[in-house]
Amino acid sequence: MTGSERSSDGLDPRRRRVLFRAWRRGMRELDLILGRFADARIGDLSDRDLTAFEALLDATDQDVLAWITGAEPVAAAHDSPLFAAIVAFHAGAHDES
């Protein structure tokens, strides 16, 4: 997979921006983790979750990857139901092909 498989058609501008940013992190591993999550869930995120996702996209690549992989504890500012959903989605990614 080289990028988003989801069209941004039908998404409001804020969701389009988040989808774009999730696939263009700078670190390919995070593109795949966050981009795939965004592809699957961007249309269903609440405003609160969307705000949490935007904040996570502002964190450094190294920090986010360490939090997702469990190498470091997640920062309190990002320890949210959305973050837990991203981690759970990523953990189940091996079941998706």
**Residue 35 sits in a domain of what CATH number?**
1.10.150.250
Residue 4 belongs to a domain: no
Neighbours of 11 (CB within 10 A): 15
How many distinct structural domains can be found in the chain? 1
User: How far is it, in rounded angstroms, from Cα 1 to Cα 51?
Assistant: 27
CB distance 76 to 49 below 8 Å: no
Residue 6 belongs to a domain: no
pLDDT in tens, 9-30: 678 899 999 999 999 988 999 9
Please give the helix or strand (H or E) that residue 62 lies within, else none.
helix 61-69
Residue 39 belongs to a domain: yes
Residue 66 belongs to a domain: yes
Reply yes or no on whether the pLDDT at 96 is more than 60: no
Residue 45 belongs to a domain: yes
Residue 34 belongs to a domain: yes
Residue 5 belongs to a domain: no
Residue range of the domain that includes 28: 13-95
**pTM of the complete model:** 0.86
